[in-house]
Amino acid sequence: MNAFFQASIDGVLMGGVYALAALGISLIFGVMKITNFAHGALITVGMYVTFELYVLLGITPYVALPLVMVTMFVIGYLVQKVFLNPLMGVAGHNQLLLTQGLAIVIENAILVMFSANYQSVSVPGFETAIRLGSITINKPKLVAFLFVAIIAAGIYVLLEKTDLGRAIRATSVQPEGATLMGIVVPRINQIAFGLGIVCAGVAGALLTPTQYIYPTSGNTYSLKCFVIAVFGGLGNIWGAILAGLIIGVVESFSALWLGGSWSELIVYMIFILTLIIKPTGLLGKKG
C-alpha cells in the first residue's frame, strides 16, 4: 500500500511538469495550427536561462521564474514574428520542417555557447525530502507542481476573463472572422506563441533542481510532451493538463511494477491505443 501511495504522489508531481510543457504545445496548435517540434529545444533554453541566472546572480530557479518567463516570451514572440509568420497559410509540412530545423540550430548554438558539459543547480534547503511516515515527497517536485497549478490557473484567467484571451480564442476558432472584427491576427499569433514558449521555458526551469542540464536535455521531454498533447486532444488546454497527470501516474506505476525500462513503452502503447479508439484524444473534438 505504501508503494501505491508513493508511486501515485511521484506520478502526479512529475505529471504536473509534463502537463505544463504539453500545455504550451496545445496552446500554439490551438491558435496557429502549428505543431512545434522545437519545443524540446526551447525547454532546454529555459534550463540554461535559469542556470545562467543562478551562476551570474546567485538566484534560485524559483526566484528566477519571472525573469525566465519574460525572457522566454520575448524569444517566442521573435521566433514567431521572424521565422513562422512568413509561413502562415502555406503547406503545413513547411512549418513542421522549419520548427525541426530551429530545434537543430538551437541545440547546436547551446553546444557552442556552453559546451557539452553537464551542469546542475543546487537549491539550499531542498536537498532533503519531506517524510510523511514511510512516504517521501521530493521538495523540488512538490514546489514545481505548485507553480504549475498557479501558472495553469493564470493561463485560464487570461484566456477566459480578459480581452486578450477572447482575442486569442477568436483567432483560434476563426482567424478570418477575427480579422473582420478588428483583431490583428499576426500579433495575436505572436503573443500565443510567446505564451506557449513561456510554458516550455518554465517547465525547463522547474526541472533544473532535479536533473542535469546539457544541450539536448529537452529532447527527453520533447516527444513525451507531444504525445501528451495529442493524447489529451491537440489544441485542448484542459486535455493537455489531464493527459499530463495521467501519463505521469502511468509512468510511475509502470516503473514500480515492471521496471524503468518498461515505463516509456507503456506510455506509447497507451498513446497508440487511444488514437485507434478515439483519434481526437481524450477531450479533443472533431474538426
Query: What integer pLDDT is reported at residue 1 of this predicted model?
Result: 64
Range of the domain at 205: 28-128+135-217
Q: What is the pLDDT of residue 96?
A: 82
Is there a domain that residue 194 lies in? yes
pLDDT at 185: 92
In this structure, is residue 18 part of a structural domain? no
* pLDDT computed for residue 225 by the predictor: 86
pLDDT of residue 111: 95
Q: Distance (Å, rounded) from C-alpha 63 to C-alpha 116? A: 26
Residue 77 lies in a domain: yes
Q: Residue 248 domain-assigned?
A: no
Residue 92's pLDDT is what?
64
Cell of 242: 489531464
Domain count, the chain: 1
* Domain assignment of residue 124, yes or no: yes
- CA distance linking residue 234 with residue 196, whole number of Å: 13
As a three-state string, the secondary structure of 165-199 is: HHHHHHHHHCHHHHHHCCCCHHHHHHHHHHHHHHH
Task: Give domain status of residue 274, yes or no.
Answer: no
Successive 10-residue mean pLDDT values, the chain, 287 residues? 85 93 91 88 96 93 95 96 83 80 94 93 84 87 93 92 93 89 92 95 94 91 86 86 92 82 81 83 72
pLDDT at 256: 82
Instruction: Give the span between the Cα atoms of 83 and 85, in whole angstroms.
Output: 6
14 part of a folded domain: no
Q: Determine, yes or no, domain membership for 91.
A: yes
Cα–Cα distance, 178 to 160 (Å, whole number):
16
